Structure 1
Amino acid sequence: MANSSTTESAEALFDATSSDGDGRASPCSAQMEGFIRAERPALLSWLRSRTALEQDAEEAAQDCFMRLLRYQHSKPAFAWRFLLYRIAPSVLADRARRTKSHHAADHVQLDGLDIVSAEPSQERIIAGREELALLRTAILDLPPKCKQVFLLNRLHGMTYAQIAKHCGISVKMVEKHIHKAVTLCLAKVEKGG
Protein backbone atom coordinates (compact mmCIF):
# COMPACT_ATOMS: atom_id res chain seq x y z
CA MET A 1 0.00 0.00 0.00
CA ALA A 2 1.56 3.31 -1.06
CA ASN A 3 1.72 6.13 1.43
CA SER A 4 1.61 9.81 0.47
CA SER A 5 5.42 10.23 0.45
CA THR A 6 5.75 7.21 -1.86
CA THR A 7 3.16 8.67 -4.20
CA GLU A 8 4.83 12.09 -4.10
CA SER A 9 8.22 10.49 -4.84
CA ALA A 10 6.81 8.59 -7.78
CA GLU A 11 5.09 11.68 -9.13
CA ALA A 12 8.34 13.64 -8.86
CA LEU A 13 10.01 11.04 -11.04
CA PHE A 14 7.44 11.44 -13.77
CA ASP A 15 8.11 15.15 -13.84
CA ALA A 16 11.87 14.52 -14.02
CA THR A 17 13.92 14.99 -17.12
CA SER A 18 16.79 12.96 -18.46
CA SER A 19 19.49 13.49 -21.01
CA ASP A 20 18.83 11.83 -24.34
CA GLY A 21 22.48 11.65 -25.33
CA ASP A 22 22.87 14.98 -27.09
CA GLY A 23 22.55 17.09 -23.92
CA ARG A 24 18.91 18.00 -24.41
CA ALA A 25 16.46 17.24 -21.64
CA SER A 26 13.49 15.07 -22.46
CA PRO A 27 10.53 14.26 -20.23
CA CYS A 28 9.97 10.83 -18.76
CA SER A 29 8.39 8.76 -21.52
CA ALA A 30 5.05 7.04 -21.03
CA GLN A 31 6.78 3.69 -21.37
CA MET A 32 9.32 4.62 -18.66
CA GLU A 33 6.53 5.98 -16.47
CA GLY A 34 4.69 2.64 -16.72
CA PHE A 35 7.89 0.75 -15.97
CA ILE A 36 8.56 2.87 -12.85
CA ARG A 37 5.00 2.39 -11.59
CA ALA A 38 5.26 -1.37 -12.09
CA GLU A 39 8.77 -1.83 -10.62
CA ARG A 40 8.61 0.61 -7.72
CA PRO A 41 6.94 -1.77 -5.19
CA ALA A 42 9.42 -4.60 -5.89
CA LEU A 43 12.40 -2.26 -5.77
CA LEU A 44 11.19 -0.71 -2.49
CA SER A 45 10.79 -4.18 -0.99
CA TRP A 46 14.32 -5.10 -2.07
CA LEU A 47 15.72 -1.82 -0.68
CA ARG A 48 13.79 -2.09 2.61
CA SER A 49 15.49 -5.42 3.28
CA ARG A 50 18.86 -3.68 2.96
CA THR A 51 18.25 -0.33 4.73
CA ALA A 52 17.56 0.56 8.34
CA LEU A 53 14.77 3.07 7.76
CA GLU A 54 11.78 3.31 5.44
CA GLN A 55 12.87 6.82 4.49
CA ASP A 56 16.29 5.50 3.43
CA ALA A 57 14.61 2.95 1.15
CA GLU A 58 12.37 5.65 -0.35
CA GLU A 59 15.32 7.96 -1.02
CA ALA A 60 17.40 5.14 -2.49
CA ALA A 61 14.52 4.15 -4.81
CA GLN A 62 14.25 7.75 -5.97
CA ASP A 63 18.00 7.80 -6.68
CA CYS A 64 17.78 4.49 -8.55
CA PHE A 65 15.01 5.66 -10.84
CA MET A 66 16.71 9.00 -11.44
CA ARG A 67 19.86 7.16 -12.57
CA LEU A 68 17.79 4.79 -14.70
CA LEU A 69 16.21 7.74 -16.52
CA ARG A 70 19.62 8.41 -18.10
CA TYR A 71 19.20 5.20 -20.08
CA GLN A 72 15.59 5.49 -21.23
CA HIS A 73 16.56 6.45 -24.78
CA SER A 74 19.88 4.64 -25.07
CA LYS A 75 18.81 1.19 -23.81
CA PRO A 76 15.83 -0.91 -24.90
CA ALA A 77 12.91 -1.21 -22.48
CA PHE A 78 13.52 -4.92 -21.89
CA ALA A 79 16.96 -4.03 -20.37
CA TRP A 80 15.62 -1.49 -17.88
CA ARG A 81 14.84 -4.04 -15.14
CA PHE A 82 18.32 -5.52 -15.36
CA LEU A 83 19.83 -2.01 -15.27
CA LEU A 84 17.65 -1.02 -12.33
CA TYR A 85 18.92 -3.91 -10.23
CA ARG A 86 22.50 -3.16 -11.28
CA ILE A 87 22.01 0.48 -10.26
CA ALA A 88 20.39 -0.28 -6.87
CA PRO A 89 23.45 -1.86 -5.15
CA SER A 90 25.54 0.99 -6.49
CA VAL A 91 23.14 3.54 -5.00
CA LEU A 92 23.21 1.76 -1.62
CA ALA A 93 27.01 1.66 -1.69
CA ASP A 94 27.18 5.37 -2.55
CA ARG A 95 24.77 6.21 0.27
CA ALA A 96 26.77 4.07 2.74
CA ARG A 97 30.02 5.79 1.73
CA ARG A 98 28.38 9.19 2.07
CA THR A 99 27.00 8.28 5.51
CA LYS A 100 30.39 7.02 6.64
CA SER A 101 32.35 9.98 5.28
CA HIS A 102 29.91 12.42 6.88
CA HIS A 103 30.10 10.53 10.20
CA ALA A 104 26.31 10.32 10.26
CA ALA A 105 26.35 7.89 13.19
CA ASP A 106 28.03 10.58 15.29
CA HIS A 107 25.38 13.21 14.54
CA VAL A 108 23.06 14.24 17.35
CA GLN A 109 19.49 15.27 16.72
CA LEU A 110 18.89 18.74 18.14
CA ASP A 111 15.16 18.76 17.55
CA GLY A 112 13.28 19.04 20.82
CA LEU A 113 16.36 19.86 22.90
CA ASP A 114 16.46 22.96 25.04
CA ILE A 115 19.89 24.39 24.38
CA VAL A 116 20.78 27.01 26.94
CA SER A 117 23.48 29.50 26.15
CA ALA A 118 26.05 30.52 28.72
CA GLU A 119 25.68 34.03 27.34
CA PRO A 120 23.08 36.31 28.91
CA SER A 121 19.91 36.88 26.93
CA GLN A 122 19.33 40.12 25.07
CA GLU A 123 16.72 41.08 27.65
CA ARG A 124 19.24 40.56 30.46
CA ILE A 125 21.88 42.60 28.63
CA ILE A 126 19.45 45.49 28.15
CA ALA A 127 18.27 45.28 31.77
CA GLY A 128 21.92 45.30 32.93
CA ARG A 129 22.65 48.39 30.84
CA GLU A 130 19.60 50.14 32.28
CA GLU A 131 20.68 49.26 35.84
CA LEU A 132 24.18 50.52 35.10
CA ALA A 133 22.80 53.80 33.77
CA LEU A 134 20.65 54.17 36.92
CA LEU A 135 23.65 53.44 39.14
CA ARG A 136 25.78 55.99 37.29
CA THR A 137 23.06 58.62 37.72
CA ALA A 138 22.69 57.69 41.40
CA ILE A 139 26.42 58.09 41.99
CA LEU A 140 26.51 61.42 40.16
CA ASP A 141 23.57 62.65 42.32
CA LEU A 142 25.35 61.86 45.61
CA PRO A 143 26.39 64.77 47.83
CA PRO A 144 29.94 65.90 46.81
CA LYS A 145 31.88 64.59 49.87
CA CYS A 146 29.89 61.34 49.91
CA LYS A 147 30.52 60.85 46.18
CA GLN A 148 34.26 61.53 46.58
CA VAL A 149 34.65 59.00 49.42
CA PHE A 150 32.57 56.37 47.59
CA LEU A 151 34.56 56.71 44.32
CA LEU A 152 37.91 56.66 46.12
CA ASN A 153 36.89 53.37 47.73
CA ARG A 154 35.05 51.60 44.88
CA LEU A 155 36.78 53.04 41.84
CA HIS A 156 40.34 53.61 43.07
CA GLY A 157 40.39 50.79 45.62
CA MET A 158 41.59 52.89 48.53
CA THR A 159 41.09 51.61 52.08
CA TYR A 160 39.01 53.51 54.61
CA ALA A 161 42.22 54.63 56.40
CA GLN A 162 43.76 55.89 53.15
CA ILE A 163 40.56 57.79 52.28
CA ALA A 164 40.44 59.31 55.79
CA LYS A 165 44.03 60.53 55.46
CA HIS A 166 43.47 61.75 51.85
CA CYS A 167 40.28 63.69 52.71
CA GLY A 168 41.33 64.82 56.23
CA ILE A 169 38.38 63.09 57.94
CA SER A 170 38.05 60.26 60.45
CA VAL A 171 37.69 56.59 59.45
CA LYS A 172 34.29 56.63 61.17
CA MET A 173 33.20 59.49 58.87
CA VAL A 174 34.42 57.50 55.84
CA GLU A 175 32.26 54.56 56.99
CA LYS A 176 29.22 56.86 57.28
CA HIS A 177 29.79 58.34 53.79
CA ILE A 178 30.17 54.84 52.26
CA HIS A 179 27.05 53.59 54.07
CA LYS A 180 25.07 56.65 52.92
CA ALA A 181 26.31 56.28 49.31
CA VAL A 182 25.42 52.58 49.13
CA THR A 183 21.98 53.17 50.69
CA LEU A 184 21.14 56.06 48.32
CA CYS A 185 22.42 54.21 45.24
CA LEU A 186 20.48 51.02 46.07
CA ALA A 187 17.29 52.98 46.69
CA LYS A 188 17.61 54.83 43.40
CA VAL A 189 18.36 51.67 41.37
CA GLU A 190 15.55 49.67 43.03
CA LYS A 191 13.13 52.54 42.49
CA GLY A 192 14.11 52.61 38.84
CA GLY A 193 15.19 56.21 38.60
Structure 2
Amino acid sequence: MSKPANRILREAFLEDRRRLLRLSHRFADRDEGEEAVQELWLRIMTVDDEVQIRNPGGYLSRMLINLLRSGFRKTGTRRAVRAEVEAILEGEEGISAERMLGARQTLSLVAQELDALPERTRRIFLMNRVEGMTYRQIAEALSISEQTVHYHMRRAMDRLLPLRKELDHGEA
Protein backbone atom coordinates (compact mmCIF):
# COMPACT_ATOMS: atom_id res chain seq x y z
CA MET A 1 0.00 0.00 0.00
CA SER A 2 1.37 3.42 -0.93
CA LYS A 3 1.68 6.39 1.39
CA PRO A 4 -0.98 9.14 1.30
CA ALA A 5 0.01 12.14 -0.82
CA ASN A 6 0.04 14.64 2.03
CA ARG A 7 2.34 12.36 4.06
CA ILE A 8 4.73 12.08 1.10
CA LEU A 9 4.70 15.87 0.77
CA ARG A 10 5.20 16.43 4.51
CA GLU A 11 8.26 14.17 4.48
CA ALA A 12 9.63 15.86 1.35
CA PHE A 13 8.98 19.29 2.87
CA LEU A 14 10.90 18.44 6.02
CA GLU A 15 13.82 17.15 3.96
CA ASP A 16 13.76 20.07 1.49
CA ARG A 17 12.86 23.00 3.76
CA ARG A 18 16.22 24.74 3.36
CA ARG A 19 16.10 24.33 -0.42
CA LEU A 20 12.55 25.69 -0.48
CA LEU A 21 13.62 28.72 1.57
CA ARG A 22 16.48 29.41 -0.85
CA LEU A 23 14.05 29.08 -3.76
CA SER A 24 11.60 31.47 -2.14
CA HIS A 25 14.36 34.06 -1.63
CA ARG A 26 14.93 34.14 -5.38
CA PHE A 27 11.39 35.43 -5.91
CA ALA A 28 10.67 37.43 -2.75
CA ASP A 29 12.31 39.18 0.16
CA ARG A 30 13.25 37.13 3.23
CA ASP A 31 10.02 37.73 5.18
CA GLU A 32 7.69 37.07 2.26
CA GLY A 33 9.70 34.00 1.31
CA GLU A 34 9.51 32.55 4.80
CA GLU A 35 5.81 33.36 4.93
CA ALA A 36 5.29 31.55 1.62
CA VAL A 37 7.17 28.47 2.88
CA GLN A 38 5.00 28.44 6.01
CA GLU A 39 1.89 28.77 3.85
CA LEU A 40 3.17 25.88 1.73
CA TRP A 41 3.34 23.70 4.86
CA LEU A 42 -0.30 24.51 5.61
CA ARG A 43 -1.34 23.82 2.03
CA ILE A 44 0.25 20.40 1.86
CA MET A 45 -1.88 19.35 4.82
CA THR A 46 -4.95 19.72 2.59
CA VAL A 47 -3.61 17.85 -0.44
CA ASP A 48 -6.04 15.16 -1.52
CA ASP A 49 -4.65 11.74 -0.60
CA GLU A 50 -5.72 10.44 -4.01
CA VAL A 51 -3.26 12.70 -5.82
CA GLN A 52 -0.46 10.77 -7.48
CA ILE A 53 2.84 12.54 -6.87
CA ARG A 54 5.77 11.35 -8.94
CA ASN A 55 8.24 14.06 -7.92
CA PRO A 56 7.50 15.44 -4.42
CA GLY A 57 10.36 17.97 -4.53
CA GLY A 58 9.22 19.31 -7.88
CA TYR A 59 5.61 19.39 -6.74
CA LEU A 60 6.57 21.41 -3.65
CA SER A 61 8.69 23.78 -5.73
CA ARG A 62 5.82 24.38 -8.15
CA MET A 63 3.37 24.98 -5.28
CA LEU A 64 5.80 27.44 -3.69
CA ILE A 65 6.38 29.33 -6.92
CA ASN A 66 2.62 29.53 -7.49
CA LEU A 67 2.16 30.88 -3.96
CA LEU A 68 4.83 33.50 -4.55
CA ARG A 69 3.36 34.48 -7.92
CA SER A 70 -0.10 34.90 -6.46
CA GLY A 71 1.50 37.00 -3.73
CA PHE A 72 3.10 39.24 -6.32
CA ARG A 73 -0.26 39.76 -8.02
CA LYS A 74 -1.72 40.72 -4.67
CA THR A 75 1.16 42.98 -3.58
CA GLY A 76 -0.77 46.15 -4.35
CA THR A 77 -3.76 44.88 -2.41
CA ARG A 78 -1.53 43.81 0.48
CA ARG A 79 0.01 47.28 0.66
CA ALA A 80 -3.44 48.87 0.76
CA VAL A 81 -4.60 46.47 3.47
CA ARG A 82 -1.41 47.07 5.50
CA ALA A 83 -1.89 50.83 5.20
CA GLU A 84 -5.48 50.51 6.37
CA VAL A 85 -4.50 48.28 9.29
CA GLU A 86 -1.74 50.69 10.29
CA ALA A 87 -4.21 53.56 10.11
CA ILE A 88 -6.59 51.66 12.39
CA LEU A 89 -3.81 50.91 14.84
CA GLU A 90 -2.71 54.53 14.83
CA GLY A 91 -6.29 55.69 15.33
CA GLU A 92 -6.43 57.60 12.06
CA GLU A 93 -9.79 59.11 11.16
CA GLY A 94 -11.75 57.83 8.19
CA ILE A 95 -11.89 54.14 8.99
CA SER A 96 -15.12 53.62 10.78
CA ALA A 97 -16.25 50.77 12.95
CA GLU A 98 -19.04 50.22 10.42
CA ARG A 99 -16.52 49.74 7.64
CA MET A 100 -14.54 47.23 9.69
CA LEU A 101 -17.72 45.37 10.62
CA GLY A 102 -18.76 45.32 6.97
CA ALA A 103 -15.43 43.83 5.94
CA ARG A 104 -15.71 41.12 8.60
CA GLN A 105 -19.26 40.31 7.49
CA THR A 106 -18.19 40.09 3.86
CA LEU A 107 -15.34 37.74 4.74
CA SER A 108 -17.72 35.60 6.77
CA LEU A 109 -20.20 35.38 3.88
CA VAL A 110 -17.48 34.36 1.42
CA ALA A 111 -16.17 31.73 3.85
CA GLN A 112 -19.69 30.33 4.30
CA GLU A 113 -20.17 30.04 0.55
CA LEU A 114 -16.79 28.32 0.12
CA ASP A 115 -17.56 25.93 2.98
CA ALA A 116 -20.87 25.03 1.32
CA LEU A 117 -19.09 23.84 -1.83
CA PRO A 118 -18.40 20.14 -2.25
CA GLU A 119 -14.87 19.32 -1.05
CA ARG A 120 -13.40 18.60 -4.49
CA THR A 121 -14.97 21.73 -6.02
CA ARG A 122 -13.65 23.91 -3.17
CA ARG A 123 -10.20 22.37 -3.48
CA ILE A 124 -10.03 22.96 -7.23
CA PHE A 125 -11.30 26.53 -6.80
CA LEU A 126 -8.65 27.29 -4.15
CA MET A 127 -5.89 25.65 -6.21
CA ASN A 128 -6.77 28.00 -9.06
CA ARG A 129 -7.66 31.22 -7.26
CA VAL A 130 -5.38 31.06 -4.23
CA GLU A 131 -2.44 28.92 -5.34
CA GLY A 132 -2.50 30.36 -8.87
CA MET A 133 -2.44 26.99 -10.59
CA THR A 134 -3.66 26.71 -14.18
CA TYR A 135 -6.41 24.30 -15.16
CA ARG A 136 -3.77 22.07 -16.75
CA GLN A 137 -1.63 22.04 -13.59
CA ILE A 138 -4.68 21.21 -11.47
CA ALA A 139 -5.71 18.44 -13.85
CA GLU A 140 -2.22 16.94 -13.68
CA ALA A 141 -1.98 17.29 -9.90
CA LEU A 142 -5.36 15.62 -9.33
CA SER A 143 -5.11 13.15 -12.22
CA ILE A 144 -8.32 14.42 -13.79
CA SER A 145 -9.15 16.01 -17.14
CA GLU A 146 -9.03 19.76 -17.77
CA GLN A 147 -12.71 19.48 -18.65
CA THR A 148 -13.40 18.20 -15.12
CA VAL A 149 -11.43 21.11 -13.67
CA HIS A 150 -13.48 23.49 -15.81
CA TYR A 151 -16.70 21.85 -14.57
CA HIS A 152 -15.72 22.31 -10.92
CA MET A 153 -14.60 25.92 -11.47
CA ARG A 154 -17.90 26.70 -13.20
CA ARG A 155 -19.74 25.08 -10.30
CA ALA A 156 -17.82 27.22 -7.77
CA MET A 157 -18.33 30.40 -9.77
CA ASP A 158 -22.06 29.71 -10.14
CA ARG A 159 -22.25 29.38 -6.37
CA LEU A 160 -20.24 32.55 -5.68
CA LEU A 161 -21.69 34.81 -8.40
CA PRO A 162 -24.96 35.67 -6.57
CA LEU A 163 -22.94 36.66 -3.50
CA ARG A 164 -20.67 38.87 -5.59
CA LYS A 165 -23.68 40.59 -7.18
CA GLU A 166 -25.21 41.07 -3.75
CA LEU A 167 -22.00 42.55 -2.38
CA ASP A 168 -21.53 44.79 -5.43
CA HIS A 169 -24.98 46.26 -4.83
CA GLY A 170 -24.29 46.82 -1.13
CA GLU A 171 -27.06 44.52 0.04
CA ALA A 172 -24.89 42.33 2.29
TM range (shorter): 0.3 to 0.5
> Greater helix percent: which structure?
2
Q: Which has the higher contact order (CA 8 A, sep 6+)?
A: 2
- TM-score normalised by the chain length of structure 1: 0.35
